[in-house]
Amino acid sequence: MIMTGDLFYWVLDISILGTITGFIVMILSRVRRFPRFGIYLLWSLPFVRLWIPIGIASEYSLLSFISRYTTKTITIWEYIPGPITLPKISMTNFIQTAQNYFPIVYKTDLLRDIFSIAQTVWVIIAAATIICMTLLYIFTKAELKDAEHIRDNIYRSDRVLSPAVYGIIKPKIILPVNIAEADLEYILKHEEIHIRRKDNLWRIAAVVTACVHWFNPFVWIFLKNFFSDMELACDVGVIKTLEENDKKVYAASLLTCSLGKTFYASAFGGAKTRSRIENILSYRKLTLFSTLCFAALFIAVAFTIITNAVGG
């Protein structure tokens, strides 16, 4: 049973853990040679960390190194030696203001009262933020209800500034009325990749995560970077199918559609346009060796980040 203040104690704890993980991904995203789709996948690690406090314990975890100096590791479950060896499950505790856990017994009554009040404030604002975002989503879809159907799942509306995919179960590509026919092929390729990757679903999951951790300013920075890296990864998916001469045309199409920005829709233009154009024009296909090296690096980074410290 979760006592007063216990839930926020662990939310605050995993928010710190998610922040550390998010900064690692942000640093890796600055490495231009790192495949953009790999960076996009790496953003799943902060997402997991911002929701799940427990994990498999490993001496090779980044948290095993950190726990030597600043954290306490709580062993949740440890295997008993037998015919089947199962891993140890642990939880990293950054806050360390409690004497005992499950339920939490705080070191002082003042700390208990502070966490009790903080939990009430956190629940109210998180709920209000999620409700506001939900209403925004509903109102946005309602405004596009009268969009003109062109063909298949492609529509046109004078209410959008940039092409974008709206919806999750039956996604629609909404085009602005003044879209140039020459840009249409590239735009549709881009949006179809968003649909295939279920990017709008991950957008909503990311927004809800930010609402839960509304008190952490870094989470909102991560959200913005996640959206940008989503678009960069989508751009790479498109230019892989293009000839060398078509890259400049695709970049020009992106520039003409650089006004649209929205939380819930995957827009063709609207996320760090300059960076995306530079990425498009400088893109080079990876060799098999480079692909294998990056895959190994991805697995190593994911393992060290997603595992927890070994309990003492």
First to last CA, the chain: 25
Asked if residue 267 and residue 297 are part of one domain, the reply reads no
- Assess whether 47 and 68 both reside in one domain: yes
Could you tell me the pTM of the whole model? Answer: 0.87
Both 120 and 199 in one domain: the answer is yes
Q: Same domain for 127 and 231?
A: yes
| Residues pairing with 175 in the sheet | 156
How high is the pLDDT of residue 2? Answer: 46
Q: Are residues 43 and 147 in the same domain?
A: no
* Number of compact structural domains in the chain: 2
Q: Given its phi and psi angles, is residue 137 left (phi above 0), alpha (psi -120 to 50 degrees) or beta?
A: alpha
Among 2-11, 145-154, 160-169, 221-230, whose mean pLDDT is lowest? 2-11
Give 122's pLDDT tier (boundaries 50, 70, 90): very high
* 66 shares its domain with 193: no
Residues 178, 98, single domain; the answer is no
Closest by Cα among 72, 65, 66, 20 to 46:
20
If asked whether residues 129 and 93 sit together in one domain, one would say no
pLDDT at position 181 over 50: yes
Is 134 in the same domain as 102? no
Shared-domain flag, residues 102 and 137:
no
Residue 180 and residue 96 share a domain: no
Closest CA to 250 of 304, 180, 299: 180
Residue range of the domain that includes 300? 1-106+285-312
**Residue 69: exposed, middle, or buried by beta-carbon count in 10 A (0-12, 13-18, 19+)?**
exposed
CA distance 177 to 91: 53
Confidence of residue 308 (pLDDT cuts 50, 70, 90): confident
